Structure 1
């Protein structure tokens, strides 16, 4: 018998559980603590770990296991076995931390950073120059050209590479010199491009994992890395032990070149780059943007083909899948994410709010949608609050909702820090501290269960999106000089968050698309294409858009019509084709022009396009995502604010039966009302603060009912006085006159942990005759569990702090007991709390030099930043009013 949707909600698939990044500092781990922490994760509803091994924080040669040592492989194999024993999964970051690299990477396979060395000369003259000791590195190009109005004239450019000579010191290669260069009459510029000697190393590596970062444009370098850093792991752990190998964000600082660029550029673009390299930095008259475009386009292709795709190929060879964060790359961002089996976005900073996160999320989810990836993952809660230890379960829950609404359907916590069972918290500098050493850890299981339930539904079927927005990547390539372009950031800046949010808040869910997708537009369900301030595109893409429009679909161009092709060769011809195509579409009525990408664009959408779901009151805070699964349509909708709303959700073109599920409480709820219209279904719902629902439309469901109850208050007991406060850990037991933050009590000022509030309440027969009895407080910071007569009535991890308790009460004397956990920041602020340093200069254990460890301890463990930013402990415990409210209910009378 098929399970109901409520039964499915209460028994979600284990594969849809959230995961967590698990930091091992210096690989200083032991089997007992690994087992203990895995038990903690399993109990909290976490279904998998992603191990990332990085910098050491304590001394000890034997304790800090060297990367790839026999002890390293032994502990990793033990961990994998323990993970699988618990029905969990194990992912692994290769090469210690990030970006990919290590001690085995030779200089020739490292990531080049090229910069120009320019000299102004005036001719006619004969010019010589000794570059020795003036620059360090390999010269990869040299040209000279005449300057006019700060631009180099292309017809005057000479390649002077052959005139550069090696300079010797006692027969040893020592430097480079230029001899007897004839400079014609006029103002000339000599430009030497240098691949610097100093290149990026792996960031924050573990012991023995230091080394160069690989060239991400070179397939040989990529294959070499995977053969060195990955294949031995699989050989020792066994195929299938690692579910996914993980690539963290591409923080490739300065990486802007590759050794094969000249050959690949000429092969792909049809002309030589060598004479025109100055255009990558300065201006070559009439050619600058086209050359820059051709260069960045070539680098994009090389990165996707030679790194992203190679990683996935290698993972498949090893019996695993690839999970890749592509943000940071200069390449076609959708193709980069789409090269992974599991594209992964990221969320950092205060994203417990409703806003489309283009930089790190919507691009990743769009790639997952257009390249048909079933799972779209997200690194979640990074720097959710700054400084550390200030994040709350409520913020984490709402932040998860904002991730879901952006189209992601797998959560990876950022994260869990390895710490000894009874030791001090070892916190990652950029994370939310979601692990067993946090004060509110025992409450996380509520979020773990919630994530599991929501992801189970969001991993079903296929995403639904009828609107797509074209990414103006070609303009970004053309407009930017040589550098490690962060394509995601550039796209967000160009499209503008306020514009994208405006579209989303009117109910329009969309994907971003690229040339590849538009070239296959018939394979997708898009009905509307939006172009914003786009100047350039390939001719084939313009032709595809024309075909899309001629088949009855809507094309909107905001700001201006595209008028240029891409690249240097046949520029005039391509410009004419693109501009003519769009002018014809506009003239023939196959394209609508919006004067700007803000109000004008939004007005056209409202007039011409029906959204899937439109929110009435609260549209600035309530968002949704839509999936279609067999005979059902699933909408996840969430209020990502601390306001509450009675609102109407209009689901267009939908008149089937439906049910509404509360994934936090695991129950089905009834709408306040609903109306069937020709245009669809209008549902009236109440959203509490941070409230989320799953709406499932399925013809096989019974006709939905409405909540016809009318709630009337039937009395209140004020509980503001007479509480006893107990803190066993501090041996503190006292009666309190009022409910105020316990951080105001001197003995508890810097206490972080659990406190207990007790109070007796006497109930009469009229009290017990009420239909509903609710216990509520103004604030329970930041998580709490309520016991009534020694029985748990439930937990609070978010507002409103209200709880139905009638079933636990009896006539006469009752005891209410509230266990409250506060944030870890208060303990961190204690003036007596300092992070110790290793004394002296040298110690007897690795790494022997104390400064190596102390530098990391100051940066990663020290509470200096927290003390600078937070001057007083945060409010803790029960604060404000406390009441027991009595209600009776009546049924709303049916209208005749």
Structure 2
């Protein structure tokens, strides 16, 4: 079957969960996935290929209503789980109303004790009642057209009561026992459950100080009396024991009945145990309608650095016995320690791929579903490890520094996946209930410019009907459900997210610069108890490196040595190598061919000079040096000293894809970021102002086509544009430019307008109606929090007034209502990290509005610019203006005491601490002004 037809057959079964998938048995979907296995995706992973078009005419047909599979999803937290069917059905309906495209069901810690009077009953994880709730939610979700995903466990990482000590996270324990001078015996270390002595050594020194390079092997023998024997010596010595042990890490935030050890991700037995005891019952609850995907959160197996058969696996994979070198690996002493640690950490990567990623993906396919995973963390999974699963996911809005999000999107670009998702809004504007739609857009746009094409909101807390407003919250995340007053604009927020997600899946990725991740160098600096690639890579991929690339008008992908060998890097005109010293000769050979074929390399700092690992290191190092000398002597290779020189070097090799000029002084032009998708006859550029100041500049594209159109991502409307347009973006505003070979059908002529002029001040004369209260005259706009009566009000209020408009004002004019420009906040830098991300901007409209003119809905306002064209809705004479304004849920939360979880913790232990409760305070709300009427002459 041709590849494109394979994609279509799988997509036909998968892309419409509410329609087609309902009638397809699990076995049929599994067969379709299996059929596509050999044809559709690289290296044996089944994939879901959404609707991907290669020509802009096909893309444009779906701008008004993007496909359902591009809609944002929500992580749906079930606390306890204490859920009941009526409320599940209600929340699914509210999701559908808000334009949410799907859910990822995650069972977490209880929020309340069982209480029949309040209708609270915690359903133990995997109990018949819990599984019945899953069945019902899946049925209801699919009937509503929602995609339903399922976390394959409770809390995170995977584990639970079924994981015995032998299957728990492995960790090497090193015990040094002093042997006094003249002693022939010493006390042996105690070996506990799940432990095994792998090796022992003896040498001069004490337990606190010894030279690991001079330790000699010591026989390991059973000693019923707990005493070791050794020939006496005149000097004090130390016996060092290497004990395969367990970290003891427990599942974090588990549901009732989900408590227990975290499993060993490098052990096939542990994975099979989990799939049998957790995966099988969960999937059985879904019957012949399996979840769209099963999900795993990021690898957070803290402390892992060993597994039961590690020595045997190491011998097979690396070709030598690690046992004699354990002192060097676990002490870091000696010249050979980095090479040995490289091999030790690399083996962990291979084990997590072979014993976790591959088996879970294969298991998912057998059950008619897919595996979606955040594949980074501990153990040290690599970028190329993603290739062993179906759906790639990242997290983190750190778009101008190393991020897990770009790790996932780069893997998707390299291994041919049009969909890459991101856990989004995890730490948005803590404490909970303070995040606004503007905050959501500010972070989502940072995800989009990193290549994300599927937003997974974090998240949607299930809330029982009797809970006080604003409902439940996860301990450390924002809330995006119908309990938020601003949820009335969620359809517009979802529409924006879906439209951009859809657009960024089309054609092919077109980043021009690749950055080689120095995985081999990172393996060599890994240390016991903290083996991770993703945690150590920022030492090489520094913020300055990413910023230099982006500020030079480019976007970037990461590549790793595995990808260089497997799929090649010929799609990238430029490769950046940041202080890469360890690299295999075969990778250097690929790079040499890349340069001979016209590729350009910019090397920062050191260049390859060492074998990656330990075996045959002298011979391989000589090969590396020869190959490196040849490569870095070629034309097309540039060497620079520091990251700060990269921008100039890059501009000299390849001018920026997108260039801004005539940026006004003081404007943050470097906060304008973009991502490009390439089609056969067009290029799609998503451009976002990720800063809190407006931007006005001239825009130029390095590879223009014959025609240009400007797309409004909020509405999908197309307008003809100049090939080098003037770019004007409000704070956190975004736009899409389409450069095409032929004019885009449906693109309206560009309207020529004169300068905007304020013709009336509308800041006075409003009547404001709060629910269940008489109208209040508001002659001066002020925050609801200024009044004692509404300080702790979370909800919606309607502002009403008359507006007199003359017939001349409507003749050849565009008339808009402007609700103010807002105030940029000092850039504290907090928003650059995953903790505390928010829009650094205080708008004059808090926080969303629906505007009605003469009884007709004129539009919504939820991000800058807070200006709405009302021309089509006005008439000569008096007009009725109604503005429904919604604020944040935190104001209601600030007006009451927080719940007391003392009894809950006595019963279940302390499974959570609510985040930043000391910062809970009412936030400004309502129309703050000034509100003006603005006219522009239309020519």
| Same fold, judged at TM 0.5 (above) | yes
Aligned match of 1:643: 693
Residue pair 2:496, 2:714 contacting (<8 A) in 1 also? yes
Greater shift in the superposed pair: 292-301 or 55-64:
55-64
Cα distance change, pair 702–386 in 1 and its aligned pair in 2 (3 A): closer
118, 129, 132: which is aligned to 2:187? 129
Aligned residue runs from structure 1 range 529-608, under 5 A:
529-589=575-635, 591-599=637-645, 601-608=646-653
Residue pair 2:891, 2:922 contacting (<8 A) in 1 also? yes
Is 2:555 aligned against 1:506? no
* Cα drift, residue 316 of structure 1: 0.8
Greater shift in the superposed pair: 271-280 or 446-455:
271-280
Residue pair 2:683, 2:738 contacting (<8 A) in 1 also? yes
Is 2:225 aligned against 1:189? no
| CA distance in structure 1 between the aligned counterparts of 2:682 and 2:247, rounded to whole angstroms | 57
Residue pair 1:356, 1:406 contacting (<8 A) in 2 also? no
171, 188, 199: which is aligned to 1:141? 199
Aligned match of 2:351: 302
Is 2:751 aligned against 1:716? no
441, 448, 451: which is aligned to 1:404? 448
Cα distance change, pair 131–715 in 1 and its aligned pair in 2 (3 A): closer
Is 2:476 aligned against 1:430? yes
Residue pair 1:52, 1:97 contacting (<8 A) in 2 also? yes
Instruction: Give per-residue Cα distances to partners, 1:163-191, cap 9 Å, x unaligned.
Output: 45244xxxxxxxxx342223656664322
Greater shift in the superposed pair: 629-638 or 286-295:
629-638
Query: Any idea what SS the aligned residue of 1:10 has?
Result: coil
Is 2:896 aligned against 1:851? no
Greater shift in the superposed pair: 645-654 or 67-76:
645-654
Residue pair 2:399, 2:447 contacting (<8 A) in 1 also? no
| CA distance in structure 2 between the aligned counterparts of 1:183 and 1:412, rounded to whole angstroms | 65
Aligned match of 1:834: 898
Gaps of at least 5 residues in structure 1 are 168-176, 675-681, 840-848, 891-896
Residue pair 2:708, 2:720 contacting (<8 A) in 1 also? no
Aligned match of 1:280: 329
Residue pair 1:114, 1:256 contacting (<8 A) in 2 also? yes
Cα distance change, pair 65–708 in 1 and its aligned pair in 2 (3 A): closer
Q: TM-score, normalised by structure 2?
A: 0.86
Query: Any idea what SS the aligned residue of 1:747 has?
Result: coil
* Cα drift, residue 820 of structure 1: 1.0
Is 2:776 aligned against 1:734? yes
Instruction: Give per-residue Cα distances to partners, 1:543-595, cap 9 Å, x unaligned.
Output: 22222222332122111211111222222222222122222222343522112
Residue pair 1:786, 1:794 contacting (<8 A) in 2 also? yes
* Cα drift, residue 838 of structure 1: 6.7
Aligned residue runs from structure 1 range 605-616, under 5 A:
605-616=650-661
Query: Any idea what SS the aligned residue of 2:197 has?
Result: strand
| CA distance in structure 2 between the aligned counterparts of 1:8 and 1:456, rounded to whole angstroms | 9
| CA distance in structure 2 between the aligned counterparts of 1:465 and 1:666, rounded to whole angstroms | 24
Aligned match of 2:24: none
Aligned match of 2:363: 314
Cα distance change, pair 82–328 in 1 and its aligned pair in 2 (3 A): same
Aligned residue runs from structure 1 range 245-394, under 5 A:
245-347=294-396, 351=397, 355-356=399-400, 358-394=402-438
Residue pair 2:894, 2:922 contacting (<8 A) in 1 also? yes
Query: Any idea what SS the aligned residue of 1:807 has?
Result: helix
* Cα drift, residue 366 of structure 1: 0.7
Is 2:130 aligned against 1:72? yes
Aligned residue runs from structure 1 range 148-159, under 5 A:
152=211, 154=213, 156-159=214-217
| CA distance in structure 2 between the aligned counterparts of 1:33 and 1:365, rounded to whole angstroms | 36
Aligned residue runs from structure 1 range 708-787, under 5 A:
709-713=752-756, 716-729=759-772, 731=773, 733-769=775-811, 771-778=813-820, 779-787=844-852
Greater shift in the superposed pair: 561-570 or 621-630:
621-630
Greater shift in the superposed pair: 750-759 or 761-770:
761-770
Gaps of at least 5 residues in structure 2 are 1-54, 821-843
Query: Any idea what SS the aligned residue of 2:404 has?
Result: helix
Instruction: Give per-residue Cα distances to partners, 1:19-77, cap 9 Å, x unaligned.
Output: 11100111211111111111111111111110001111122288211222222222211
Residue pair 1:255, 1:484 contacting (<8 A) in 2 also? yes
Is 2:266 aligned against 1:203? no
* Cα drift, residue 197 of structure 1: 5.8
Residue pair 2:59, 2:503 contacting (<8 A) in 1 also? no
Aligned match of 1:58: 112
Instruction: Give per-residue Cα distances to partners, 1:617-660, cap 9 Å, x unaligned.
Output: 35411111122234332222222223222223322233232322
722, 728, 746: which is aligned to 1:686? 728
* Cα drift, residue 216 of structure 1: 0.5
* Cα drift, residue 211 of structure 1: 1.7
Query: Any idea what SS the aligned residue of 2:101 has?
Result: strand
Residue pair 1:152, 1:283 contacting (<8 A) in 2 also? no
7, 12, 15: which is aligned to 2:66? 12
226, 229, 236: which is aligned to 2:275? 226
925, 931, 935: which is aligned to 1:876? 925
Query: Any idea what SS the aligned residue of 2:231 has?
Result: strand
* Cα drift, residue 769 of structure 1: 3.8
Greater shift in the superposed pair: 601-610 or 615-624:
615-624
Aligned match of 1:174: none
* Cα drift, residue 120 of structure 1: 4.7
Greater shift in the superposed pair: 44-53 or 418-427:
418-427
Aligned match of 2:103: 49
* Cα drift, residue 524 of structure 1: 4.0
Residue pair 2:173, 2:245 contacting (<8 A) in 1 also? yes
* Structure with greater strand percent: 1
700, 705, 711: which is aligned to 1:655? 705
Query: Any idea what SS the aligned residue of 1:319 has?
Result: coil
Residue pair 1:66, 1:208 contacting (<8 A) in 2 also? yes
Instruction: Give per-residue Cα distances to partners, 1:71-129, cap 9 Å, x unaligned.
Output: 22222111111111112211000122211112112211111222312235565653412
Query: Any idea what SS the aligned residue of 2:259 has?
Result: coil
Aligned match of 2:147: 89
Residue pair 2:569, 2:594 contacting (<8 A) in 1 also? no
* Cα drift, residue 610 of structure 1: 2.9
Root mean square deviation, CA, Å: 2.7
| CA distance in structure 2 between the aligned counterparts of 1:306 and 1:190, rounded to whole angstroms | 34
Instruction: Give per-residue Cα distances to partners, 1:315-337, cap 9 Å, x unaligned.
Output: 11111011000121343421222
| CA distance in structure 1 between the aligned counterparts of 2:161 and 2:763, rounded to whole angstroms | 63
* Cα drift, residue 407 of structure 1: 0.7
| CA distance in structure 1 between the aligned counterparts of 2:933 and 2:377, rounded to whole angstroms | 53
Aligned match of 2:491: 445
| CA distance in structure 1 between the aligned counterparts of 2:720 and 2:507, rounded to whole angstroms | 25
Cα distance change, pair 283–406 in 1 and its aligned pair in 2 (3 A): closer
Residue pair 2:191, 2:197 contacting (<8 A) in 1 also? no
Query: Any idea what SS the aligned residue of 2:460 has?
Result: strand
Instruction: Give per-residue Cα distances to partners, 1:423-448, cap 9 Å, x unaligned.
Output: 33011122221001112111111111
Aligned match of 1:119: 177
Cα distance change, pair 20–400 in 1 and its aligned pair in 2 (3 A): same
Instruction: Give per-residue Cα distances to partners, 1:192-212, cap 9 Å, x unaligned.
Output: 223446611211111212122
* Cα drift, residue 287 of structure 1: 1.7
Aligned residue runs from structure 1 range 157-168, under 5 A:
157-163=215-221, 165-167=223-225
Instruction: Give per-residue Cα distances to partners, 1:254-276, cap 9 Å, x unaligned.
Output: 12210111111112222221122
Aligned match of 1:806: 871
Query: Any idea what SS the aligned residue of 1:669 has?
Result: strand
* Cα drift, residue 391 of structure 1: 1.0
Residue pair 1:752, 1:824 contacting (<8 A) in 2 also? yes
Residue pair 1:151, 1:284 contacting (<8 A) in 2 also? no
Aligned match of 1:789: 854
Is 2:714 aligned against 1:664? yes
Cα distance change, pair 23–715 in 1 and its aligned pair in 2 (3 A): closer
